[in-house]
């Protein structure tokens, strides 16, 4: 009766969990695997008494598939740029007004933000789930908040410093990209869902929207859409660090985000919210 009860219980577990049953014969006896459960039956002659022994235990460890997909990843971080502009040459070319220099491009660090929304990312096993390829598709949204009231004019692009009594509490340049990342991932704890690892690689982004927005008092708003001589394509070096449940990311562009005059290489760092 005891054996029949155990057998019926195993069948119920198999039907409920839709698990694959794997039965093998070992030196100890029969082994039945149902999902993450293992039922081991020891035959006669392996114990001092004449009765069989049946043990039930759970298999440990996280089993990863060769291809896993993560949907709806969000990054929150800070955006900035490394400024190596020759301002004398930029002013001589007419791209900058004579009163616009390095100080006018100072950013408000806490207000200049980077938000990335990745539609999906996939991880492809290469070597025992320790070495993987990661790739995906998403949007990079960068907002650069300036301290001074500089203004980007268009057709042709020219940057001036607004004079008079104009003082805006919000002056930002937004640059948004449709981006494809490609990384080599090293997962040091492949059997854990929230382990430790890092990823390094590159990304290619296409500028699909750019605008400058001013905001002053009530009713005092201004928004201008243009590319402002920003490069259409952005190639970046990217990285990712996983420390258990905490995931950090960083990116640095290969060259200036402007086509001419201004030599400003953008970068971003922040926190990533994802399943792996």
Q: Which residue has the higher pLDDT, 248 or 1?
A: 248
Of the candidates 58, 82, 98, which is a domain's last residue? Answer: 58
Q: What angle do CA 19, 22, 23 make, to 5 degrees?
A: 140
**Average pLDDT for 226-231:** 96
Per-residue pLDDT band at 119 (split at 50, 70, 90): very high
Q: Answer yes or no: do 39 and 74 share one domain.
A: no
C-alpha dihedral sign at 230, 236, 239, 245: positive
Mean pLDDT check: name the lowest of 102-116, 143-157, 216-230.
Answer: 216-230
- Is 181 found in the same domain as 131? yes
pLDDT at 67 over 90: yes
DSSP labels, the chain? -HHHHHHHHHHHHHHHHTPPEEEEEETTEEEEEETTEEEEEE-TTSSSSSS-EEEEEEPPSPPPPSEEEEEEEEEEEEEEEEE---HHHHHHTTSB-TT--GGGG-B-TTT-EEEEEEEEEEEEEEETTTEEEEEEEEEEEEEEEBSS-EEEETTTTEEEE--TT---SEEEEEEEEEEEEEEEEEES-TT-SS-EEEEEEEEEEEEEEEEEEEE-STT-EEEEE--TTB-SEEEEEEEEEEETTEEEEEEEESS-SBSSS--EEEEEEEEEE---
Q: Which region holds residue 180: left if phi is over 0, alpha if psi is between -120 and 50, else beta?
A: beta
pLDDT band at residue 164, thresholds of 50, 70 and 90? Answer: low
Cβ proximity of 266 and 84 under 8 Å? no
Indicate whether 145 and 231 sit together in one domain: yes
- 118/27 same-domain check: no
Q: Which domain holds residue 36?
A: 2-58
Question: Which carries the bigger pLDDT value, residue 226 or residue 46?
Answer: 226
- What mean pLDDT comes out for the span 214-240? 90
Which pLDDT value is given to residue 18? 42
* pLDDT above 70 (res 63): no
Residues 63 and 49: beta-carbon distance below 8 Å = no
Q: What angle do CA 210, 105, 99 make, to 5 degrees?
A: 110
Q: What does the alpha-carbon distance between residue 222 and residue 216 come to, in Å, rounded to a whole number?
A: 9
pLDDT confidence bin for 260, thresholds 50/70/90? very high
pLDDT score of 272 more than 60: yes
Query: Residue 19: is its pLDDT beyond 90?
Result: no
Higher-pLDDT residue of 241, 49: 241
Residue 16, pLDDT above cutoff 60: no
Q: What total of structural domains would you count in the chain? A: 2
- The span from the CA of 75 to the CA of 247, in Å, is 10
Sign of CA dihedral 43, 46, 47, 50: positive
Looking at the structure, tell me whether residues 34 and 139 fall in a common domain. no
Task: Tell me what percent of the residues of the chain surpass a pLDDT of 70.
Answer: 74
Whether the predicted pLDDT of 96 surpasses 60: yes
Q: Both 11 and 145 in a single domain?
A: no
Closest by Cα among 67, 62, 184, 71 to 120: 71
Q: Evaluate if residue 143 carries a pLDDT over 70.
A: yes
- The reply to whether 161 and 247 lie within a common domain is yes
The answer to whether residue 5 scores a pLDDT higher than 70 is no
Q: How far apart, in whole angstroms, are the C-alpha atoms of residue 276 and residue 163?
A: 50
Q: What are the backbone dihedrals phi and psi of residue 8, each rounded to the nearest 5 degrees, phi first?
A: -65, -40
In angstroms, the CA 215 to CA 200 distance is 38
Whether residue 110 sits in one domain with residue 52:
no
Residue 48 reports pLDDT greater than 90: no
| CATH, residue 151 | 2.40.128
In terms of domains, do 164 and 230 share one? yes
The whole-number pLDDT of residue 192 equals 85
Residues 36 and 85 occupy one common structural domain:
no
Q: Answer yes or no: do 50 and 129 share one domain.
A: no
pLDDT score of 133 more than 50: yes
Across the range 231-240, mean pLDDT stands at: 98
The verdict on 166 and 214 lying in the same domain is yes
């Amino acid at each position: 009766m005891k054996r029949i009860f155990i057998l019926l219980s195993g069948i119920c577990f198999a039907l409920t969990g839709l698990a694959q049953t794997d039965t093998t014969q070992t030196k100890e006896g029969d082994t039945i695997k149902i999902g993450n459960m293992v039922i081991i039956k020891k035959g006669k002659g392996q114990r001092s008494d004449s009765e069989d022994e049946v043990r039930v235990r759970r298999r440990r460890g996280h089993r990863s598939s060769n291809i896993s997909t993560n949907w709806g990843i969000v990054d929150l971080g800070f955006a900035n740029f490394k400024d190596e502009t020759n301002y004398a040459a930029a002013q001589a070319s007419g791209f900058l007004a004579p009163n616009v220099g390095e100080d006018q491009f100072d950013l408000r660090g806490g207000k200049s933000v980077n938000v990335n929304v990745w539609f999906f990312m996939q991880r492809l096993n290469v070597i025992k789930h320790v070495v993987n390829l990661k790739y995906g598709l998403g949007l990079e949204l960068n907002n650069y908040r300036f301290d001074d009231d500089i203004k980007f004019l268009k057709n042709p692009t020219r940057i001036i410093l607004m004079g008079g009594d104009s003082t805006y509490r919000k002056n930002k340049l937004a640059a948004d990209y449709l981006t494809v990342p490609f990384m080599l991932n090293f997962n040091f704890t492949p059997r854990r869902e929230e382990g430790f690892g890092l990823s390094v690689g590159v990304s290619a982004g296409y500028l699909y929207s750019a605008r400058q927005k001013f905001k002053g008092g009530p009713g005092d708003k201004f928004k201008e859409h243009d590319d402002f001589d920003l490069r259409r394509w952005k190639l970046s070096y990217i990285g990712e660090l996983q420390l258990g449940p905490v995931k950090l990311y960083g990116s640095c562009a290969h060259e200036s985000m402007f086509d001419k005059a201004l030599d400003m290489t953008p970068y971003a760092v922040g926190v990533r919210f994802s399943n792996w």
